[in-house]
């Protein structure tokens, strides 16, 4: 248990659906992240929120829309996705200002787009 | 940009020692992380190196050479449960310290 909880664990959706991924951290951290993990590829940073402000948007298509209502919760809203968006979506949190600022990851949502 | 390179897959025998290498090319290097990720699970933090040298933590050690752009993760007395993917990640100074990850090395430990 890393202190970061993601739901759902698995999601299958059609290209015309709208769904949301949820992340909650119980560590009192002030930064939260969305990463995409595809087979044989490095973890790709998608979005970063620091103190509830979006500080990084890594050229992600607009069909992915993040939301950070408070420092403990992070959402990723999905609509009109493509099959190539099928991947593991990982949420992470960290405490900015610490020496190592290590990331604490959730177990991810395995997304399949049909 | 940043370039991080690590082997795709390694195999080793239970009880043995294995060394997983990571090389990087980046400007403004700050530090290097190693994470472990079991299949279907969250990546978990193993080590963080900022200065040159070896950091030992039980069966796992991590080494960094800033001048060579090189790190390795050393796993001793391998156990079956060490079968996992090992992710190398680099942070740079100059704004944010968000890590950039390599592709990961899948380690298979067999009896």
The count of other CB atoms within 10 Å of the CB of residue A11 is 18
Predicted confidence at residue B93, as pLDDT, reads 79
Find the distance separating the first CA and the last CA of chain B, reported in whole Å.
41
Pairs of residues, one from chain A and one from chain B, whose beta carbons lie less than 8 Å apart:
51
How far is residue B21's CA from residue B31's CA, in Å, rounded to a whole number? Answer: 15
pLDDT in tens, B47-101: 999 999 999 999 999 999 999 999 999 999 999 999 999 999 999 876 567 889 9
3-state secondary structure A27-94: CCCCEEEEEEECCCCCCEEEEEEECCEEEEECCCCCCEEEEEEECCEEEEEEECCCHHHCEEEEEEEE
How far is residue B73's CA from residue B91's CA, in Å, rounded to a whole number? Answer: 17
pLDDT in tens, A31-80: 999 999 998 789 999 999 987 777 777 789 999 999 999 999 999 999 99
How far is residue B84's CA from residue B74's CA, in Å, rounded to a whole number? Answer: 14
Residues of B with Cβ-Cβ distance to A33 under 8 angstroms: 98
Give the closest of A2, A101, A104 to B97, CB-based: A101
Predicted confidence at residue B94, as pLDDT, reads 65
> Among A76, A2, A45, which residue's Cα sits nearest to residue B43?
A2
Q: Diameter of chain B by CA atoms?
A: 46
3-state secondary structure (DSSP) of residue A96: coil
Chain A interface includes B44 (CB < 8 A): yes
């Amino acid at each position: 248990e890393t202190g970061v909880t993601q739901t759902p664990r698995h999601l299958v959706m059609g290209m015309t659906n709208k769904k949301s991924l949820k992340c909650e951290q119980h560590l009192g951290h002030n930064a939260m992240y969305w990463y995409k993990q595809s087979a044989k590829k490095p973890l790709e940073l998608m979005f970063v929120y620091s103190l509830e402000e979006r500080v990084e948007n890594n050229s992600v298509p607009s069909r992915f829309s993040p939301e950070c209502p408070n420092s403990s919760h992070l959402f990723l809203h999905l609509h009109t996705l493509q099959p190539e968006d099928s991947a593991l979506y990982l949420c992470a949190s960290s405490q900015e200002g610490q020496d190592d600022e290590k990331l604490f990851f959730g177990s991810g949502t395995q997304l399949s787009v049909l | 940009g940043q370039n991080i390179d690590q082997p795709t897959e390694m195999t080793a025998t239970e009880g043995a020692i294995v060394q997983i290498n990571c090389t990087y090319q980046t400007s403004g290097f700050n530090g290097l992380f190693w994470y472990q990720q079991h299949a279907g699970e969250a990546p978990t933090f193993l080590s963080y190196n900022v200065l040159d040298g070896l950091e030992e933590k039980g069966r796992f050690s991590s080494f960094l050479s800033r001048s060579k752009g090189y790190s390795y993760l050393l796993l001793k007395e391998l156990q079956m449960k060490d079968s996992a993917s090992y992710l190398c990640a680099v942070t740079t100074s100059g704004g944010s310290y968000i890590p950039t990850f390599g592709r990961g090395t899948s380690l298979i430990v067999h009896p």
